[in-house]
Structure 1
Amino acid sequence: MPGAFSGVPGAVVDDGVLRHAGDPMREQRALVRGTAIAPRGDRRVLAVTGEDRLTWLDSITSQALAQLPTGRSTELLVLDPQGRVEHVAGVVDDGETTWLFVDADDAAGLLTFLTRMRFRLRVAPRDASDEYAIVSVTDDGMGLLRPAAPSGPAVVWRDPWPDVTEGGAAYAHPDDHPGDDWRWNDALVDAAEQDRLASLAAAGELTVAGALAVDALRVAAWRPRWRDEVDERTIPHELDWLRTAVHLDKGCYRGQETVAKVHNLGHPPRRVIALHLDGSAESLPRRGDVVLSGGAEIGRITSAARHYEDGPIALAVVKRTADTDVDLVVQTEDGDVAASATTVVPKDAGATAGVPRLPRLSRRR
């Protein structure tokens, strides 16, 4: 169902993804106020049916899912034997089907992995993206999806970020986290509902926001994403992903030894930082642009965006020992850009760092 919102006035659509509808800053404000929806052509949904689906997913991922209550949203990682992140998915079960919300670029790879891991268990994973599209809204915007059905969409994944879910751990300080206002929902809509929303948007009766607006709010919330923050070396600790996607006390799974060792000893090899960029630069850094401290390379940009309040911002993954309490420089195609950093994952992150293990359970149900 790609391109359904291409008829919205001012829409810029690239490869089925609505980039913006004319004004990304206004779109950000509308999302925050709950007066806009965001069609997610960059997201896909996988469905897993069968009696063994939750215990099976529990055994092959980082999250405790065997007893996941119906309607409870959580997040999982698929790790390799060395604990590196291979796949990421939001998870919610409706009592009959477990729904996995994934980045479009990761959907085929995750489905291939799940298919290979079925063995003789009673599970049946499939790509349901031809049946449903994903539309995102904040908590305050849920009412925009309800006129066709008073109870709202049948399936909604409520992003638990940045709350520390049961069995998780916080590396960034739990108080005053910039993601506290990130109350995000991915809702499944069928073709008829997507067409209804697209018609309202084309007629100017509904505000839509594009990927640029969504990404700016995500970066401001320090929310990691598979497409951007993950590379071939990423382990969950580096991105503060133990908050929502890892259960430290669950049974054995691939990569668990690395997860436990790095957390208990501290000192993940790299760590994510948040950057405020010089606003005089005409263009934003790109993923992979080098970050310098004192003239030496310390890491690379993973995401960059223009935020409606904070201006140009970015996330970067840097060496654990890098000095980020000084003025930094980002090397871009258009020249050097000055930047200042805010610590997300501290140098001594881990169980020995003294950060409260469970400052609160997730408020998202």
Structure 2
Amino acid sequence: MRAVRIDEFGGPEVLVPVEVPDPVAGPGEVLVRIAAAGVNRADALIRSGVYHRAGRPPLIPGVEASGVVAALGEGVSGLEVGQRVMALDGVNAPGFYAELAPVPATQVTVLPQGVGLTEAATLPVAWLSAWYCLRHLARVTKEDTMVVKAAASGVGSAAVQIAAQAGARVIALAGSAEKAAWAGEFGAHATVDTSAHPDDAEVEEVLRLTDGRGADVVLDTVGGPAFGRSLRQVSHGGRVVALANVALAPSTVDTRDFYPKNAAILGFQLTNLQIHGYDPRNDLRELAERVAAGAYRVPVETVVPLEQARTAHELLERRSNRGKIVLAVADL
């Protein structure tokens, strides 16, 4: 089969198209014929060797994908060959930058009609992360005002929509005027261009937009120095959800920024959640059904062929994209 492999850690140039033997489905596994694979920050971290569970080269990256069931391993029930599915990397890192991938059946979710395979390839990581953080951790309701950081990213644009559909007032923060305006198209009630409001000015703008009280929920998808600002932007009794550190920098926290407000800090990491027993299928099924019903719009900015994974990673690391980048593997 065709695949893109990493033989040594490094920059996008280490993503090399190769031919490798077809895998088979082991006990409890589903062999998925891949149509499309989402491109994520985790893929870039795996490629560069700084991901917490990257393993050692040679390895095939890719943590989410869509496709059809090609074969079922021993003991698998409830799925059929030919079904359209989406799959999540989960704990075993099967690697979706390839034409075929064996995946534990617990990481495979059947797609409803009305969801295309390209958009489905973006749901298992970014959308599921936003969904879990808002629905299960922060429990966002129509009574809340919510700040979404990096709102033009995959997670951010999903979170804006999920929060807005829940009835919350959404303040979308993004790194340029263009990105902020784009995030506003997904239901944000106010937008902030953080390039025009750096550091303390960002905090002051959020406080201004909330009449000085701060936001009930802050979704921090950035980490690093931005996390300290998130603590200053949250209201009395509010919740800060931290799910990433794309800044790859330490966060300096002053406890006086949150404990006097009785605020809660909630952490989220999808892989660790699965290691400790989380089954993503029900949440992914509900997400896909809402996409099929038109409640959410899945923005895919760029689709490139599998062999051009290097180009996809270069685009990702420039941080100029709005929404998701997807690798097209096969027309299924």
TM-score by length of structure 1 reads 0.24
TM-score by length of structure 2 reads 0.25
Point out the structure with the larger helix share.
2
